[in-house]
Amino acid sequence: MGEKQTEKRKTYHEQNYIDNTLKLREILKTLPPFAKDYFRAVEPTTSAKTRISYAYDIRVFFHFLIENNPVYKNYTADMFTVQDLERLKAVDIEEYQEYLKVYQNQEDKQITNTEKGLARKMSALRSFYGYYFKHQIISSNPTLLVDMPKLHEKAIIRLDTDEVASLLDYIEHGGDELTGQKKVYYEKNKNRDLAIITLLLGTGIRVSECVGLDLQDVDFKNNGIKVTRKGGNEMVVYFGEEVEHALKMYLYTTRKTTAPLSGHENALFLSTQRKRIGVQAVENLVKKYARQVTPNKKITPHKLRSTYGTSLYKETGDIYLVADVLGHKDVNTTKKHYAAIDEDRRKQAAGAVKLRDV
C-alpha cells in the first residue's frame, strides 16, 4: 500500500516567490527574445520582485522606441535584436529620459515619474545595457554618456514620541464614540490593527515581513518573531512588553474567534475576508489611523520603521545594532537614514566644551 504524500506547507515568502517567478515569465513574453539572457544573469543577485520591476521598466523603453523613433515605428517587441541597442546614440537615451517624465503606457494611461521613478527606470536601462556591453555582445553603451537624474534629499518623516502615543491611543479608543455598523466594524478590527501597528512601531520590521508572519513564527517564551528578510534570510527580531501585550490581546480574541479560509490557517494576521492580510491593506489601515492623529504628516508603514530606527538609535547610540535589527545589509544605508540624529549630537558638542571661565 503506497504512502500518502503530504505536501510541505509553503510559507508566504515561498508562495510569493513562485507567484513572482510566474509573473516575470509572462512579462518576458512581451520583451525582445534576447532580454531573457539578461534576466537569467541577474537572477542570483536580485529578488524576483526587483526583476519584475526591471522588466516593466525595460518594456517602457522598447515601447518608447516604437512610438517615437521612426526607424522602429513598424516594429513589435519581438522584432528587436541586441544589435538595435548599439545603433542608438546618447541623444536617443536623453530623449527617452525626457519622455519618462510624462507618457502614455500601453493601457493608454498617463504615467508621470518623480525623481525617484525616473532614476529607477534609467538605472534599469543602464544595467540592461551594461550586461550586453560587459559581455562584448554590443560594442557601444550610450547609457554611459548620459547623466543620471539628480536625486534631491527629502526630509525623513517620522512620528514624534507624543505622536506615537496618540496614534496607539486613537486605535484603542477612537471608536468609543461610534454607533451602529461603524462601531461593529471598529470593534471587530481594533485588536488586530493595534497589534499590527504596535508590532511595526516596536520592532521596525518591514510591512512585507509583517504580513508574511505565521502563527508559528511568534515565540512568547523569548519574546521574538522569526521574520524572512529581503533576500530570503531568516532572523529572529525581539520585542518588548507592549508588543507582547498587543499580540496576545489579538491572538486570544479576534484571531481565536476567526475561522481562516483554507490555505490561510497559519497566517498570523487575517483580513476581514479571513485570508492572510496583504501589504496594501496594512498600508491603508496605517494611513487611515495616522491621518486622524497627524494630518500634516504622510505616514506609511515605512515611516513607522523609520520611527523605530530613530528611537533605537537615540536610546543606544549604536548604529551597527540599528542596522542589524532593521535588516540593513550595509551599515551605510543606516547611516544615511539617521545622519540627522548625529547632526543634533554634533550641535550639542558646540556648547559642551568651555574654553575660559567667564
Please check whether residue 54 is in contact with residue 128, taking contact to mean a CB–CB distance below 8 angstroms. yes
Q: DSSP characters for 324-340?
A: HHHT-SSHHHHHHHHHH
Does residue 305 fall inside a structural domain? yes
Q: What's the CATH code of the domain at 131?
A: 1.10.150.130
Averaged pLDDT, 227-232: 82
Helices (H), the chain: 12-28, 35-42, 48-68, 83-87, 90-99, 115-134, 161-173, 180-203, 207-211, 241-251, 254-257, 279-293, 301-316, 319-326, 331-350
Does residue 348 fall inside a structural domain? no
Q: What is the predicted pLDDT for the residue at 343?
A: 58
Cell of 230: 529581503
CA angle at 125 for the pair 123 and 126, rounded to the nearest 5°: 65
Positive or negative torsion for Cα 287, 293, 295, 299? negative
119 & 231 share domain: no
The whole-angstrom separation of Cα 56 and Cα 266 is 33
Does residue 16 fall inside a structural domain? yes
120 & 189 share domain: no
Does residue 134 fall inside a structural domain? yes
Does residue 150 fall inside a structural domain? no
49 & 96 share domain: yes
Averaged pLDDT, 272-298: 94
Does residue 349 fall inside a structural domain? no
Does residue 336 fall inside a structural domain? yes
Q: Note the pLDDT tens digit of each residue in 19-33.
A: 999 999 999 999 999
The yes-or-no verdict on residue 322 having pLDDT over 50 is: yes
How many distinct structural domains can be found in the chain?
A: 2
Position 303 confidence tier, pLDDT thresholds 50, 70, 90: very high
Of 132 and 114, which is predicted with more confidence?
132
Classify residue 76 by its DSSP letter.
Answer: -
Q: Note the pLDDT tens digit of each residue in 206-219.
A: 999 999 999 999 99
Positive or negative torsion for Cα 274, 276, 278, 284? positive
Domain membership of residue 190 as a residue range = 161-340
Does residue 26 fall inside a structural domain? yes
298 & 175 share domain: yes
Q: Note the pLDDT tens digit of each residue in 77-130.
A: 999 999 999 999 999 999 999 999 998 877 778 888 888 889 999 999 999 999
Q: How far is CA 89 from CA 10, 57, 141, 142, 143, in A?
A: 48, 19, 8, 6, 9
To the nearest whole number, what is the mean pLDDT of the chain?
Answer: 89
Percent of the chain clearing pLDDT 90 (strictly above): 65
322 & 284 share domain: yes
63 & 193 share domain: no
Of 104, 119, 145, the one marking the end of a domain is 145
